[in-house]
Chain A
Amino acid sequence: MDVSVEEKIVPEAKAKEIFEKEFMPHMDAMYNFALKLTADEDDAQDLVQDTCVKAFRFIGSFEPGTYAKAWLFRILKNNFINDYRKKSRGPSKVEFEWVEQSISGEDEFAEPAYFADLHAETVQDMMGDEITAAVQSLPVDFRMIIILCDLEEFSYEEMAKILHIPVGTVRSRLHRARALLKEKLAEYAKKKGYH
Chain B
Amino acid sequence: MKSSCEHHHACMKVIQRIIDREATPEEEAAFLENKNQCMPCQEGYALELSLKKAIQSKCSVKCPDQLFAKIRAKLFLLLILISILIPLFC
**Given A123-B54, A135-B55, A150-B56, do A156 and B63 touch, yes or no (CB 8 Å)?**
no
Q: Say which residue of A3, A119, A126, A181 sits within 8 Å of B79 (CB atoms).
A: A3
- Whole-angstrom distance between the alpha carbons of A16 and B78 in the complex? 12
Q: Hey, which chain A residues are within 8 Å of B75, CB to CB?
A: 16, 19, 52-53, 56
Does chain B have a CB within 8 A of A62?
no
For window 1-49 of B, CB contacts with A under 8 Å fall at: 8-10, 12-13, 16, 20-22, 43-44, 46-49
**Given A135-B55, A151-B56, A151-B59, do A178 and B64 touch, yes or no (CB 8 Å)?**
no
Taking a contact as CB atoms under 8 Å apart, the answer to whether A49 and B71 are in contact is yes
Q: Which stretch, A23-31, A64-72, A79-87, touches the partner chain B?
A: A23-31
Q: Hey, which chain A residues are within 8 Å of B43, CB to CB?
A: 119-120
Task: Encode A26-42 as 1/0 by CB contact (under 8 A) with B.
Answer: 01101110011000010
Taking a contact as CB atoms under 8 Å apart, the answer to whether B9 and A109 are in contact is yes
Interface hub of A48, A118, A120 (most chain B Cβ within 10 A): A120
**Given A109-B9, A131-B54, do A30 and B63 touch, yes or no (CB 8 Å)?**
yes
Does chain A have a CB within 8 A of B86?
yes
Number of A-B residue pairs, CB cutoff 8 Å, is: 123
- Whole-angstrom distance between the alpha carbons of A151 and B62 in the complex? 13
Main secondary structure of the interface of A (DSSP, over half): helix
**Given A109-B13, A175-B16, do A118 and B82 touch, yes or no (CB 8 Å)?**
no
Taking a contact as CB atoms under 8 Å apart, the answer to whether A48 and B63 are in contact is yes
Does chain B have a CB within 8 A of A155?
yes
Does chain A have a CB within 8 A of B88?
no
Taking a contact as CB atoms under 8 Å apart, the answer to whether A31 and B67 are in contact is yes
Task: Encode B55-90 as 1/0 by CB contact (under 8 A) with A.
Answer: 111111111100110110011001100110010000
Taking a contact as CB atoms under 8 Å apart, the answer to whether A49 and B67 are in contact is yes
Query: What's the least CB distance linking B77 to chain A, in Å?
Result: 9
Taking a contact as CB atoms under 8 Å apart, the answer to whether B51 and A123 are in contact is yes
Taking a contact as CB atoms under 8 Å apart, the answer to whether A182 and B47 are in contact is yes
Does chain B have a CB within 8 A of A17?
no
**Given A3-B82, A123-B47, A171-B16, do A132 and B58 touch, yes or no (CB 8 Å)?**
yes
